[in-house]
Structure formats: C-alpha cells, structure tokens
Structure 1
C-alpha cells in the first residue's frame, strides 16, 4: 500500500487502541498492531520506504522519495519482496536495539532511520546528505518559515504535553498526528507533526511539566526542519525527518530527564 498509507493506518489503529484502553478494555491494539509486526513504523513504513527506493532504481517510480504512491501500481514481485525483506530487517534491528542492547531511546524511530540509510546506500545515488552542489541550498529554517515552525512547535507541544500529563498516554498526540497525514496522502499540504507530538510528550511525561514539553515541541519542530533540509532534500531516497528527530531527542530526554 506504500509507506505513508501504512503509517497513517498505524495512527488510526493506535487511536482505536487508545480508545479501547480508555473505555476499560484489555485489548492492546497499540502495542500489538500499531507498533507491532503488522503496522509498526519500523516494519511497515520502513519496508515501504525501501521498496520505493528499489522501485525508483528500477525505473518504475519517478522518485525514490515518493512514499505516498502504493507500489502495487507496478505489479512487480521484486518490489514486494524487497519491501518484505526490509520489514523483516526492521523487526530484527529493533529487537537488537531494544531487547539486546537496551538503548535508551525510541528504538522504533532509530530503526526507521537505520533501514532508510541502508536503503539509500543500496538503491540511491545521492549520498547521505544529497546533492551538496545545489546553489543557495538551505540547511536550516529561516525567516517566515522559522517563525511559523516556532509557533507551531510551541503550540502543539503545549497541547500534547497537557493531555500527556493528564492521561499518562504518551502516544495520543503521536497517533493523532500520524492519522492527520491522510490529508497529505490526498495531496493537500498537511505537514508532518508526529515528531513534535512525541518528543513533547516524552519530555512532559518525564518531568510532569507541560512547559518543558512545549519547549521540546519547539526544539523538535526546528530540528525536524534541519534534518529535512540536510538529509531529505536534493536526494533520491527517503530518510524520514520525524523519525530522525524522535530518536535523537528521545535519547536526550531518556538520559537527562
């Protein structure tokens, strides 16, 4: 179905699971489906990203950065197999990070980045930071964009932090943000915000302070744009800026907060 549709489904199923838990149910849709082997971003989304890169290398998909197009469009068995192999690789890498090495970060996000980098070196030609010869290339937000991201990061971080502290559910804002990307899938300019939601929630839950959560929402918004411009611009495969942001700042929060 493609990487982005799979991630949207993870958000929708996660919201359903949160609702079941809030209603007193015992079925863990969040852990078993939304973040498990079926729809977990480190498996379904990461497999879709790698399949898109492979499809572009084989002159099917116009851009390896296109994570919205369902790759069933091409009816290519090897694209399906590559996606499945990278999904399996994501499962193994996340198990290594979380259960063997016990890394103090969001290992799902770290796995998404690991498999994306592997896919870029296997199927892409643009290198880890894309084409650096592009004239006037930006690496950080500035001007109106900087102000917009700052306001959005603080505001979303504050709202998510409030509900995280009130409910103790760290994935609520993340799942809403993930589900909101259905509008991006429809072709509308809806931004990705799940890195802001999750980083702010982690910080708020760790400290019990919604203003610290809002601060980390601001940091996540600006850092995510830096990652986008540095690793996911002028390139031919997708390295996910939100996942990059989540694993870096989760590591900092888990260690220091």
Structure 2
C-alpha cells in the first residue's frame, strides 16, 4: 500500500517514519529507524495523529514542488526527504546529521555503522555489478514498454502516454517485493531507487530519439550513480542520531536533479556528449568501486591482524 498507487510513499512511508520518530521521543519505542513496525500496535492515538499531520504536510509539499519545479524533480521523494528532516529536527536528539561516536567515522569503508550492513558500498565491485544489472534491466524494460506504447500513438495518444509513464516502474515494483522480505528480517537488497533513477536517466535520451544502446548506457550509468549516492547520503542523514530520513528517497530526489536539470543544462543529452557521458560515468563509477573494494579489503585485513 505505502509504495503503490493508492497512497504513494510520500503519504504512506514518509509520514509513518516521522510518527516513529515522535514515538521514540515519547519513549513508546526504542528504535526510531525500525520502520517495519506497525505503529497502530502501540495503542497511542497521538502517534497516529502525528503521522496524519505529516501526511497532510507531505501532500502539500509535493503539490508545491509540482508547481515550482514541474518535471524537474522527483517531487514524491523530495517530499519524503523534507518531512523526514523536519521530523528529525523536531524529535531527534542530535540535529539533522547526528553526531559520530568517538572512535568511529561518518564516511568510508572503515565506518562501524552502515545503513545496510549486508550490502555496504565497500563491496565495491559486487555493489557496482548488482546496481548495473538492475539498471540495465530497468532500462531495457523502459525501452521495450515505451516502444510498445508507440503503437498506440496515432489511435490512442492518452493510452500511449500512460504506457510511457508505467514504463518507469517494473523494476521498482520488483524491488518492493524484496522490501517486504527485508521487513521479515531477511538480508535482501534495496534497489527500488536504482530501478527508478535508471529510468530517469533513460527518459530524455529516449525522447530525443537516441538508439537503444545509448538509452541503456544512460540507464545503467544513472542507476549505478543512484546506488552510491544513497549510501553516501545515508551516512550523512540517517546513520547517526535519532530519526529516519529515507536513503532511497534522498538518492531519487538528488539524482532527479542531475538527470532532469543539471545534465540538460550542461548539454549532456546533445550530440556526441549523449554517447560519451554515460560511458565516462560508468568508467568513473567502476574505478570508484575498485578503490572501495581495495580499501575495504585492507581495512578487514588490518582488523583481523589486530
């Protein structure tokens, strides 16, 4: 429900996470990041009221962003981020980014705390390959579904447009199934942001008439980018201090600005740049993955030796 077309995450997930932060502040729960907890079981109407109020706020934030930046930002994800930060300020105990305990470090493979301990970015090559595979699948499905939608362009333009919109979501929907399993305690991957941002990266090249290979390169490069961005922003806004600011939403909001504002402004979707840019992004991200892998291996070796 919270990730579907009935409520949308900015009306389901985001407000519930804010209510969880309130519950932690009141002493009703011990963990302000355990978003799998059904809050109704607490038997505290005030928690549900807070969730409802944040839901109303998020609804209007999303509407406002749609007016101010139409088609330029993932307004759903941005609304989740904004209310999450507000809740962290109101209900948290260490500010927006939290305080790093002595002996730990916020960033890097040697950090003792991670958003997803079972899939750290320090597993660089595996991390890169997984994100690349999910992104490639998302881009391929986006291309095929959009091509199918074109067959209705003359007879039913509205249907063709709706099919193009739906083309963004197959891998996102697949990833949500894994989120359900994650909530049961299984160490499943989180990649709905990867699938969605991959399609964000593919949209403008596809609309510009790029061939399938170029569209897939953009999808893959942007999906991998979102994977690393989520981990980086999680270290900044989620891992330390009370409160939950959703890393995938952070990544989707940030990467939508890249794909829909920054890249077009730099002319990266035009001419030769349309072909070269995703290749450069893939190479850079692969190098970063290899460096992270080497650093993690060295850190683990040093820890074992100690």
| TM-score in terms of structure 2 length | 0.70
Which residue is equivalent to 1:19? none
Q: Which residue of 1 aligns with 2:16?
A: 48
* Alignment correspondent of 1:167: 145
Q: Contact conserved, 1:146 with 1:222, CA < 8 A, in 2?
A: no
Could you tell me which residue of structure 2 aligns to residue 66 of structure 1?
Answer: 34
Larger CA deviation: 183-192 vs 81-90: 183-192
Displacement of 1:231 in angstroms is 1.3
When structure 1 is superposed on structure 2, of 226-235 and 75-84 the one drifting more is 226-235
Deviations 1:78-126 (A, max 9, x none): 0010000000111011011103553611000000000000000011112
Kindly state the Cα deviation for residue 241 of structure 1 after the two structures are TM-superposed: 0.6
Q: 1:155 aligns with which of 130, 133, 141?
A: 133
- For residues 141 and 149 of structure 1, the distance between their equivalents in structure 2, rounded to whole angstroms, comes to 13
1:104 to 2:72 alignment: yes
Contact 1:52 1:71 in 2 (8 A): yes
Distance 1:183 1:153 in 2: 19
Q: Which runs of 5+ in 1 are unaligned?
A: 1-5, 12-29, 34-38
Secondary structure of 1:41 counterpart: coil
Corresponding residue pairs, total: 225
Task: Name the stretch that deviates more: 96-105 or 242-251.
Answer: 96-105
SS of 1:252's partner is helix
1:145-224 to 2 correspondences below 5 Å? 145-168=123-146, 169-208=167-206, 209-224=215-230
Deviation, 1:144, is 4.5
1:20 aligns with none
Task: Quote the offset at 1:238 in angstroms.
Answer: 0.4
Query: Secondary structure at the residue paired with 2:12?
Result: helix
Give 1:196 deviation, angstroms. 0.6
* In 2: Cα distance, 1:137 partner to 1:187 partner: 27
Q: 1:119 to 1:188 in 2, by over 3 A?
A: same
Structure 1 position 206, deviation (Å): 2.1
Q: What's the CA shift for 1:157?
A: 0.7
Indicate if the aligned counterparts of 1:42 and 1:87 stay in contact, CA closer than 8 A.
yes
Q: Is the CA contact 1:65–1:237 (under 8 Å) kept in the aligned structure 2? A: yes
1:144 and 1:226 mapped to 2: Cα distance?
11
Residue number in structure 2 paired with 1:238: 244
Structure 2, unmatched stretches of 5+, are 111-120, 147-166, 207-214, 270-306
Contact 1:120 1:237 in 2 (8 A): yes
CA-to-partner distance for each residue in 1:31-73, whole Å, 9 max, x for gaps?
Answer: xx2xxxxx11111111101110000001111111111100111
- 1:139 equivalent in structure 2: 107
Worse overlay, 95-104 or 205-214? 95-104
**1:10-29 equivalent positions in 2, closer than 5 A:** 10-11=3-4
Q: Distance in 1 between matches of 2:103 and 2:141?
A: 44
Instruction: Determine if contact 1:47/1:87 at 8 Å carries over to the other structure.
Output: yes
Distance apart, 1:130 and its partner CA: 1.5
In 1, are the aligned partners of 2:193 and 2:249 still within 8 Å (CA)? yes
Whole-Å separation in 2 of the counterparts to 1:177 and 1:95 = 26
CA contact (8 A) 1:141 1:222 kept: no
